[in-house]
Amino acid sequence: MTGVKQYLHKYVEEPGPKVVFGDNSSAPTEGYGSVNCNGIVFTRIAYVNGLKYNLISVSQLCDAIPGILFGIWIVDAQEV
């Protein structure tokens, strides 16, 4: 999820589900697009107007980067 619509390529405006945050506040998703991060393409990234931080699904991250390892202090993508 991102709060910056300009980050999204091939943006599609499509109202989606609302996102509920840890403090029980919520915001609707307003659309989605893709993000290319150093050659790794993440698809269906939701746009949430006003979101202050970008959030990523660990499941999407694992699908996009084969061989990714998570540790207590670091996240490292092994050479594949």
Number of folded domains that form the chain:
1
CB 31 within 8 A of CB 12: yes
pLDDT digits (tens, 9 = 90+) for 42-74: 889 999 998 988 988 888 778 777 777 776 655
Q: Give mean pLDDT, residues 4-26.
A: 93
Strands 75-77 vs 40-47: parallel, antiparallel or unpaired: unpaired
Supply the range of the domain harboring residue 48: 5-77
